[in-house]
Amino acid sequence: MSMMTGEKYEQSLRKLNLNVYMFGKKVGNVVDDPIIRPSMNAVKLTYELAHLPEYEDLMTTTSHLTGKKINRFTHIHQSTDDLVRKTKMGRLLGSRTGCCFQRCVGMDAMNALSIVTHDIDKKYGTEYEKRFLKYLEYVQEEDLTCDGAMTDPKGDRGLPPHKQHDPDMFLHVVEEKKDGIVVRGAKAHQTGAVNSHEIIIMPTISMREEDAEYAVSFALPADAEGITYIMGRQSCDTRKLENGNIDRGNGIYGGHEALVVFDNVFVPWERVFMYKECEFAGRLVENFASYHRQSYACKAGVGDVLIGAAQTIAEFNGAARASHVKDKIIEMNHLNETLFCGSVACACEGHKEPSGTYLVNTLLANVCKQNVTRFPYEIARLAQDIAGGLMVTLPSEEDFRSPEVGKWLEKYYKGNDSASTEDRMRILRLIENITMGTAAVGYLTESMHGAGSPQAQRIMISRQVKMEQKKKIAKQLCGIKEK
| Mean of pLDDT values over 62-71 | 97
pLDDT of 1 over the 80 cut: no
Active-site annotation, residues: 100, 104, 191, 257, 292, 296, 298, 446
Do 302 and 267 reside in the same domain of the chain? no
- Indicate if 13 and 112 belong to the same structural domain: yes
**φ, ψ for residue 465, nearest 5 deg:** -65, 145
Angle of helix 323-348 versus helix 298-317 axis, rounded to 10:
170
Rounded distance between C-alpha atoms, residue 333 and residue 340, angstroms: 11
Quote the percentage of the chain above a pLDDT of 70: 100
Comparing CA positions, the residue from 358, 362, 193 lying closest to residue 294 is: 362
* Euclidean distance between CA atoms 166 and 402, whole angstroms: 54
CATH number at residue 56: 2.40.110.10
Q: Does 65 reside within a domain?
A: yes
The confidence band for 361, taking pLDDT boundaries of 50, 70 and 90, is very high
* pTM, to two decimals: 0.95
pLDDT score recorded for residue 172: 98
Give residue-wise pLDDT tens across range 457-466.
Answer: 999 999 999 9
Element housing 174 (H / E): strand 172-177
Has residue 51 got a pLDDT over 80? yes
Percent of the residues in the chain that have a pLDDT greater than 90, as a whole number: 94
Q: Say if strands 227-231 and 180-187 run parallel, antiparallel, or are unpaired.
A: unpaired
Judge contact between 99 and 442, C-beta under 8 A.
yes
Instruction: Answer whether residue 265 is part of any domain.
Output: yes
Examine the pLDDT at 83 and tell me if it is beyond 90: yes
Q: What is the pLDDT of residues 165-182, one digit of tens each?
A: 999 999 999 999 999 999
- Report how many domains make up the chain: 2
Let me know if 235 is exposed, middle or buried by CB neighbors in 10 A (0-12, 13-18, 19+). middle
Residues 119-134: pLDDT tens digits?
A: 999 999 999 999 999 9
The DSSP code for 270 is G
User: What pLDDT score was predicted for residue 222?
Assistant: 98
> Partners of 265 in the beta sheet?
183
Asked if residue 442 and residue 417 are part of one domain, the reply reads yes
CB atoms within 10 A of CB 408: 13
Structural domain including 273 reads: 6-79+98-280
| Shared-domain flag, residues 235 and 343 | no
Where does the pLDDT of residue 87 fall: very low under 50, low under 70, confident under 90, or very high at 90 and above?
Answer: very high
Asked whether residue 222 is domain-assigned, the answer is: yes
Q: Where a domain ends, among 253, 280, 307?
A: 280
Asked, for residue 1, whether it belongs to a domain, the answer is: no
